[in-house]
């Protein structure tokens, strides 16, 4: 079975839009776990426009499943994750003002930098994942860097699937086969939803985990968190 990690950034966005503490991010995270999700993901950014750094510290004390923190390994981010020591850190090459992630790492160009970052995370017993496109050379370089996993950036698949182009999954299948052959774990995320997740899962061998936030939160507005989480879990079996 592929694990479902729920990204709760949008819950923090809703809370911040009004001030105060409604919805309560910590209570939501606990409910998501209670409903069956196998992990909680957050992506704090330097401007703290959704997840705040203190949220990350507070969540560390209440998350009982996998705790995954995503972000660009700038100094403030690294200080945070080395303090918290989550289950997994996913390295994402976001600009400070990025609305959402738009590309994976060029693991050839940034080989030395990423290797140094991952070595520091490993010294603190933190599992690492690199957000990456399906480029075979980048996956091979990721393995040489020493990361534990790669997270396949699935925006292109999701956009093409919505148009009816199921052939768009092939590069992801090939990337997953290569990553597994090289000893890497395989995660995936970005624009996966209830319409495409089952097909994606069926075509990606050895898929360890998906991280889903925006779509899951939007779907839950109509169907409710508990229903939606279990709908994902059913499709990921």
pLDDT digits (tens, 9 = 90+) for 201-212: 999 999 999 999
Confirm whether 120 is a catalytic residue.
no
In the set 33, 50, 66, 70, the catalytic residue is: 70
The domain 3-235 belongs to what CATH superfamily? Aldolase class I (3.20.20.70)
What mean pLDDT is predicted for residues 157-173?
98
In the set 33, 43, 66, 151, the catalytic residue is: 43
Model confidence band, residue 94 (pLDDT cutoffs 50, 70, 90)? confident
Model confidence band, residue 61 (pLDDT cutoffs 50, 70, 90)? very high
Please give the model's pTM, rounded to 2 decimal places: 0.95
Mean pLDDT (the chain, rounded): 95
Confirm whether 162 is a catalytic residue.
no
| pLDDT tens-digit series, residues 177-195 | 999 999 999 999 999 999 9
The residue length of the chain stands at 237
| pLDDT tens-digit series, residues 95-145 | 655 555 667 899 999 999 999 999 999 999 999 999 999 999 999 999 999
Confirm whether 190 is a catalytic residue.
yes
Q: What is the pLDDT of residue 100?
A: 56
In the set 66, 151, 190, 219, the catalytic residue is: 190
The C-alpha atoms of residue 197 and residue 110 are separated, in whole angstroms, by: 31
**What is the DSSP track for the chain?**
--EEEEE-HHHHHHHHHHSTTSS-HHHHHHHHHHTT-SEEEE---TT-SSS-HHHHHHHHTT--SEEEEEE---HHHHHHHHHH--SEEEE----TT-SS------TTTTHHHHHHHHHHHHHTT-EEEEEE-S-HHHHHHHHHHT-SEEEEE-HHHHHHHHTT-GGGGHHHHHHHHHHHHTT-EEEEESS--TTTHHHHHHHSTTEEEEEE-HHHHHHHHHH-HHHHHHHHHHHT-
Domain boundaries defined on the chain = 3-235
| pLDDT tens-digit series, residues 32-59 | 999 999 999 999 998 898 999 999 999 9
């Amino acid at each position: 079975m592929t694990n479902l990690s729920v990204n709760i950034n949008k819950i923090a966005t809703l809370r911040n839009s009004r001030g105060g503490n409604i919805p309560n991010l910590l209570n939501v995270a606990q409910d998501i776990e209670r409903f069956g999700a196998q992990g909680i993901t957050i992506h704090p950014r330097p401007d703290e426009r959704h997840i705040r750094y203190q949220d990350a510290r507070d969540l560390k004390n209440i998350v009982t499943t996998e705790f995954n923190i995503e972000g660009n390994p700038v100094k403030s981010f690294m200080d945070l994750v080395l303090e918290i020591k989550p289950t997994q850190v996913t390295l994402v090459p976001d600009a400070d003002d990025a609305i959402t992630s738009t590309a994976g790492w060029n693991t050839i160009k940034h080989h030395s930098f990423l290797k140094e970052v991952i070595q520091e995370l490993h010294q603190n017993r933190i599992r690492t994942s690199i957000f990456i496109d399906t480029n075979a050379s980048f996956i091979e370089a990721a393995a040489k860097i020493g990361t534990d996993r790669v997270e396949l950036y699935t925006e292109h698949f999701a956009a093409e699937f919505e148009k009816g182009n199921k052939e768009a999954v092939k590069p992801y299948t090939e990337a997953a086969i290569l990553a597994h052959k090289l000893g890497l774990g395989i995660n995936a995320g970005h624009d996966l939803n209830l319409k495409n997740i089952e097909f994606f899962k069926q075509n990606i061998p050895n898929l360890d985990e998906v991280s889903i936030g925006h779509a899951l939160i939007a779907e839950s507005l109509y169907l409710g968190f508990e229903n939606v989480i279990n709908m994902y879990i059913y499709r990921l079996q």
